[in-house]
């Protein structure tokens, strides 16, 4: 491709509200353009990257025996009503009417459509198992689109669905996809973690997220610095560490703390470290109230509470429903209420708690002497420096972008939709399903998040829009120009993807653009070539420059990638 022909209009100035590096670089380098909130045009450079990522994904999907299909983006409401998700999915579902006033929606995911398809065609265990996938546009009316194409309302997703006669087959299929996903993320060259995750609105039992480590991520994950343990912070476990303050127990004291509710406020006012405060959080679950106690420097993890207590629909208690105003609730004098405490509070001596009275806290409170929790359970959110539950190593907390998510759905969709098959013994059973997604467009941005410097993008070769950037410093010079043209033709002939900067621009402009675009290899043809037939070879990722006799360039190329 010749730069003079490329649809490429780099921008110097960026809106100040562009936050993610990837978003900024994609706009700057003319890869995408915003159409409306959370809606983007993919321009030639961005689209080439997208296609390369698609190709990698497609190759791996085909390799595990999945077959590619294309399902509609426009769905009739009926299917969504059968599974109940017409209402459950909520405002994120784009709903519309056709000319006959029939309700439709734009597909945010395709379980309903694919299950209906499978129901129509599959009757026997002999037809199982199999896998179908598609790469297609999804629509989700996100409450807050953000970070360019990282969280947009219309995006490209690869979704794969697997269909099985029994659990064993599902497990086998799940494992195969898991491996294929590893291949994909490796091929794209990403730093990622695989974590056990919540299954969310898609549902099902087991699920793993493929999370790309990046500052602009919206997920928080915890992983061990010495073993392979990793999980979302909601799921992450930790070894509680009981640090005994080993102080003499002091008599309890009521202190006036007007309007001071937060740990920070109380801790500053009383000049006591947050770790000496015991937070009391009131929750409701299945109609009963429960008090949760954690150290002031920790946060309660409600998902953990649900899991450990085996209850659902846990919610925080509203101000009006408690005996004491929120912010002043404490464990002492809570009659008839179950108290669940994190084991780490056992070590707190002479702690501070709410007094169950507006504007008062209690000092020098001691567990065992002044109150006794009903049970001790590790109910707080994992945090930096926690000990790994598997090996005792230190946990690291990182932000990340969810780029892949795989689920064992079981019969969540096949059962309500009646997608059944006949077993060898003649029984009818719902088909067991798995579903597996990758945010394809999101991966473009995620890769940039991990591969950039102050001058621009640094593409891994596998997904770079072009592999080689030929930079003639002076296009009006006949010697430089004819050599560049010739080199360009030879490289293209050999199958390389090449950008030839044939613009009549100053060298500086071309160097800036070459760096911004992040093409892996740059070949500079300038004064050195005119004087002594030397051209420069440079890898975008490295600072070294190889000076190579012009006739050797092609042979030397592969060594520089």
Task: Give the separation between CA 47 and CA 31, rounded to whole angstroms.
Answer: 7
Query: Within 20-79, which residues bind RNA (CB under 7 A)?
Result: 28, 36-38
Give the strand pairing for 67-68 and 130-139: parallel
- Using CB under 7 A as the binding rule, whether residue 312 contacts RNA is answered as no
The contacts of residue 408 (CB under 8 Å, 6+ apart) are: 170, 171, 174, 204, 205, 206, 207, 434
Only segment of 107-115, 116-124, 296-304, 413-421 that touches RNA (CB under 7 A): 296-304
- Using CB under 7 A as the binding rule, whether residue 473 contacts RNA is answered as yes
Give the interface size with RNA as a residue count (CB under 7 A).
Answer: 65
- Supply the minimum distance, in Å, between the C-beta of residue 487 and RNA: 14
Please count the residues of the chain. 561
- Using CB under 7 A as the binding rule, whether residue 302 contacts RNA is answered as yes
Among 5, 14, 41, 201, binds RNA (CB under 7 A): 14
Query: Within 334-373, which residues bind RNA (CB under 7 A)?
Result: 354
Query: Within 371-400, which residues bind RNA (CB under 7 A)?
Result: 381
Task: Give the separation between CA 257 and CA 190, rounded to whole angstroms.
Answer: 50
- Using CB under 7 A as the binding rule, whether residue 10 contacts RNA is answered as yes
DSSP secondary structure string for all residues of 225-237 = SSSS-EEETTT--
Closest CA to 370 of 459, 464, 267, 249: 249
DSSP state of 322: S
- Supply the minimum distance, in Å, between the C-beta of residue 33 and RNA: 9
DSSP secondary structure string for all residues of 288-318 = EEEEEEEETTS-B-HHHHHHHHT----EEPP
Count the neighbouring beta carbons within 10 Å of the beta carbon of residue 384. 10
- Supply the minimum distance, in Å, between the C-beta of residue 160 and RNA: 29
How many Å is the Cα radius of gyration of the chain?
29
Closest CA to 225 of 401, 403, 383, 397: 397
Among 159, 467, 502, 515, binds RNA (CB under 7 A): 515
Q: How many CA atoms lie within 13 A of 272 on its CB side?
A: 26
- Using CB under 7 A as the binding rule, whether residue 140 contacts RNA is answered as no
* Cβ distance to RNA smaller for residue 228 or 262: 262
- Supply the minimum distance, in Å, between the C-beta of residue 524 and RNA: 5
The contacts of residue 233 (CB under 8 Å, 6+ apart) are: 220, 221, 222, 301, 381, 382, 383, 397
- Using CB under 7 A as the binding rule, whether residue 479 contacts RNA is answered as no
- Using CB under 7 A as the binding rule, whether residue 219 contacts RNA is answered as no
- Using CB under 7 A as the binding rule, whether residue 146 contacts RNA is answered as yes
- Supply the minimum distance, in Å, between the C-beta of residue 392 and RNA: 25
Binding site for RNA (CB under 7 A): 9-17, 19, 28, 36-38, 143-147, 234, 261-264, 266, 279, 281-283, 294, 299-303, 316-317, 319, 326-329, 354, 381, 455, 473-474, 476, 506-509, 511-516, 524-529, 536
């Amino acid at each position: 491709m010749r730069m003079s022909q490329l649809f490429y209009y780099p921008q110097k100035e960026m809106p100040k509200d562009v936050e993610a590096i990837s978003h900024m670089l994609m706009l700057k380098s003319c890869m995408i353009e915003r159409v409306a909130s959370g809606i983007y045009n993919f321009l030639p450079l961005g689209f080439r990257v997208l296609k390369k990522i698609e190709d990698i994904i497609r190759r791996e999907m085909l390799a595990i025996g999945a077959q590619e299909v294309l399902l509609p983006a426009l769905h009739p409401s009926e299917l969504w009503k059968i599974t109940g998700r017409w209402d459950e999915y909520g405002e994120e579902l784009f709903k519309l009417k056709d000319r006959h006033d029939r309700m439709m929606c734009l597909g945010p995911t395709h379980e309903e459509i694919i299950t209906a398809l499978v129901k129509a065609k599959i009757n026997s265990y002999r037809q199982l198992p199999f896998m179908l996938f598609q790469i297609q546009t999804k629509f989700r009316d996100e409450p807050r689109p953000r970070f360019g194409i990282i969280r947009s309302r219309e995006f490209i997703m690869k979704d794969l669905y697997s269909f099985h006669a029994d659990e064993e087959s599902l497990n086998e299929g799940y494992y195969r996809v898991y491996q294929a996903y590893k291949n994909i993320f490796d091929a794209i060259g990403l730093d990622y973690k695989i974590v056990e995750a919540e299954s969310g609105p898609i549902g099902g039992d087991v699920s793993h997220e493929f999370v790309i480590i990046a500052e602009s991520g919206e997920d928080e994950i915890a992983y061990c610095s010495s073993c392979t343990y990793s999980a979302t912070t909601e799921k992450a476990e930790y070894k509680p560490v009981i640090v005994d303050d080993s102080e003499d127990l002091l008599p309890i004291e009521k202190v006036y703390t007007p309007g001071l509710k937060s740990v920070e406020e109380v801790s500053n006012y009383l000049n006591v470290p947050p770790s000496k405060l015991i937070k009391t959080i009131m929750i409701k679950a299945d109609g009963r109230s429960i008090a949760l106690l954690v150290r002031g420097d920790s946060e309660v993890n409600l998902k953990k509470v649900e899991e450990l207590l085996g209850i659902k629909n846990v919610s925080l208690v509203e101000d009006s429903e408690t005996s004491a105003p929120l912010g002043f609730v404490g464990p002492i004098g809570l009659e008839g209420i179950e108290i669940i405490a994190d084991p780490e509070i056992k070590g707190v001596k002479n702690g501070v708690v709410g007094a169950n009275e507006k504007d008062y806290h209690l000092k020098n409170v001691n567990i065992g002497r002044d109150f006794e929790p009903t049970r001790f359970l590790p109910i707080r959110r994992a945090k930096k420096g926690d000990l790994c539950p598997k090996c005792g190593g230190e946990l690291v907390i990182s932000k990340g972008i969810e780029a892949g998510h795989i689920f064992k759905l079981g019969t969540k969709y096949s059962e309500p939709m009646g997608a059944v098959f006949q077993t060898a013994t003649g029984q009818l059973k719902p088909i067991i399903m798995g579903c597996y997604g990758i945010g394809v467009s999101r991966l473009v941005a995620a890769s940039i998040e991990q591969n950039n410097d102050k001058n621009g993008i640094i593409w891994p070769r596998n997904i770079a829009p072009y592999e080689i950037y030929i930079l003639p410093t002076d296009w009006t010079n006949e010697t430089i120009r004819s050599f560049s043209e010739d080199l360009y033709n030879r490289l293209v002939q050999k199958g390389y993807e090449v950008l030839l900067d044939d613009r009549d621009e100053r060298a500086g402009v071309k160097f800036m653009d070459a760096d911004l675009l992040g093409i892996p290899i740059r070949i500079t043809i300038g004064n050195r070539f005119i004087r002594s037939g030397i051209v420069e070879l440079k890898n975008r990722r490295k600072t070294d420059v190889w000076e190579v006799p012009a006739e050797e360039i092609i042979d030397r190329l592969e060594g520089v990638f």
